[in-house]
Amino acid sequence: ACGLYEAAIKAAIEGLELAEKIGEGMQKSFLFYWAAEAALGAGHGDSAFKFIQRGISEGEKIGHPLGLAVLRLTLAKALLRGGRVEESMEPAKAALSFFQALDMGGLLQRSLGIYAEILANWMPKDEMQIDKMMERAAALVERSSSPWDKIEYLKALARISRLLKDKYFR
């Protein structure tokens, strides 16, 4: 969030090395997730895809559904940022379904925002569904005490608004 993407990638890689050394498999998915998010933030899409692929492979080995869901959400975001809107739908739906089933607060809110953004890039645009998703995301932000959830919500809202010709910011 503060722009130190290269440091974040380095820290995630160090965490992966430590997790490997001590045999801590559950954390690997999240470390790959954070490395992928940092790589995306730094504009390194290819690196992000590599981290995501490795993370999904590790998550499947140990059977870690939450780790796989966050990685799928990041995969959807990476595909969307790469202009691959149609491909981004499947991993976004999978992550959204998982987070909805468990009503997972900030992760559900983030998933709703990314899925709404995918729909805003989709032709034809389904503005009613986008509105419903963003209303649900807003309700989750209200329920949360986390400023990060609000920041994620506002970032999604800004990206969607840009695509829908400032519908939300008039």
pLDDT in tens, 25-55: 778 888 889 889 888 888 888 999 999 999 9
Distances, alpha carbon 35 to alpha carbons 8, 17, 44, in Å = 7, 13, 11
Q: What pLDDT was estimated at residue 96?
A: 95
Q: What pLDDT was estimated at residue 44?
A: 87
What does the alpha-carbon distance between residue 62 and residue 118 come to, in Å, rounded to a whole number?
Answer: 30
Is 112 exposed, middle or buried (CB count within 10 Å of its CB: 0-12, 13-18, 19+)? buried
Residue with tokens 């690196």, as numbered in its chain: 47
The pLDDT of residue 3 is above 70 = no
**pLDDT digits 0-9 by tens, 51-81:** 999 999 988 988 889 989 999 999 999 999 9
1 — pLDDT class (breaks 50, 70, 90): very low
What does the alpha-carbon distance between residue 142 and residue 148 come to, in Å, rounded to a whole number?
Answer: 12
Q: How far apart are the two ends of the chain, measured CA to CA in Å? A: 26
What does the alpha-carbon distance between residue 152 and residue 170 come to, in Å, rounded to a whole number?
Answer: 20
What one-letter code names the amino acid at 72?
R
Q: Which residues are within 8 A (CB) of 117 and not within 5 positions of it... i.e. 6 or more apart?
A: 80, 156, 159, 160, 163
15 — pLDDT class (breaks 50, 70, 90): confident
Contact between 149 and 107 (Cβ < 8 Å): no
What does the alpha-carbon distance between residue 37 and residue 140 come to, in Å, rounded to a whole number?
Answer: 22
What does the alpha-carbon distance between residue 143 and residue 153 come to, in Å, rounded to a whole number?
Answer: 13
Total-model pTM = 0.84
Peptide bond into 91 cis (omega under 30): no
Share of the chain above pLDDT 90, in %: 48
